[in-house]
Structure 1
């Protein structure tokens, strides 16, 4: 296991303090890793995709989750705040340009940051693409994915009265932000379990997430989704022209039920410097064996081609 050579906390000056770590080669090609969720946090597993002799790997916990503080906080927590945080991190670490490596929500944030600051990006490596649009949220929380997983969908519906099931994001929002911590944790579990159950091609048992993790993940994800991810509808596709000069590789599970491949196809279609790799027999999760192997191949390919 690659261990960090630097761990620090950065005070963003507005009540949020961000945990950050660096591993690999301090003089290497910088890679900023953007975790999913929102609210997922980074983990040591995320270091495994980068040759430590070649890459300078930067992981950080986005606002409100992981080791960043305050925990589960949604005040001053928007896509624009996260874009600002990446700028502060890049400047604090004296990085002129970096590869952005992100999956799921991390892919959303990578594209949003790159479109805002294309001059600060070397390339994008994206997995399980999500662009924050209404149609994508409707697929997952409006009954699309439920057609394939009616049993898991029933578990997700169970805590919500039938009269409120027309808008499940709003219904869960009322409970995840009730001010009653016990109720928030109780409703965080089915929110997290619905996503976790569909993330891998091999579906495991329902299980339970640790309460503090579940509450942060569910509150942050719900907060972003109820606000349309703080993006204009279709903004990231509309503004793709701002990043079409940048190389990109998109790794997408053929059977991704959380973020179906159509979105990755739309993002790559007509972007001549983007390569879409549809991975067979794979779902959404970073830990999917074929997904993980393909991401290692992508990063080793950049290294071997001396792309940067």
Structure 2
């Protein structure tokens, strides 16, 4: 971290999506709406799990933790983006940029392994139904969540330290809406060769490994589903996994495109749109994907809102 102290840049400028004030006002409304709906939707799933005893199962335990993660994930970028759009102040301090990158990478890496843990849970529920309660006990569930957070922390700390150990002495305009690795590497005055290698290796260790674990679980799940004789049984088994598969495809598709490639292929104008998929859209769709396809969650959420309405009324 020695080079960090000699960097001549004290703050960065987040260019964002547009410099035109009318468009910025429209974007403020759009992103504020996305943020509010995301927080309310994911918080509803957490509340449904907490206040509905029927949902106190490993599947919904992971879903509640995933919803909490999504709230934190979108909160790492959107509040600062909303502030810059509303106040026309696009600056972010050097330390603020460090914190934002660390939090975003921490939550993104954690999400990779949490998706793998959720796939492992579905694998045991479908392939080992009689042993499911024994395998997915409280200790196992907590252990999988802990491993996800520890893995995300190690990955984030590695990239954050390496990125801000670089020397930043020239331009300070980040062609992005948050402090991310690719646009910061473009601003560095010193060599970024090690950073690029570590980025590719880390993508292999985090994104690819977690993705392969997820796919391995689903290969066995699909195989088990195809062996179910009744059509209704196959349909019911697949419906419990379809929502998770949609989230996996959206998250891994956009994240892999963003990070698992050499620096020469970076295009910040396109990358901003790709980053928006996993930074904004995925957390927004999460509660709808899971709740709209899950009657238990829908019923639990409706009951909670009815209770709130009755309390306010009387």
Q: Is TM-score (shorter-chain normalized) higher than 0.5?
A: no
- Could you tell me the TM-score, scaled by structure 2's length? 0.29
Return the structure number with greater relative CO, CA threshold 8 A, min gap 6.
2
Greater C-alpha radius of gyration: 2
- The structure richer in strand per residue is 1
- Could you tell me the TM-score, scaled by structure 1's length? 0.29
- The structure richer in helix per residue is 2
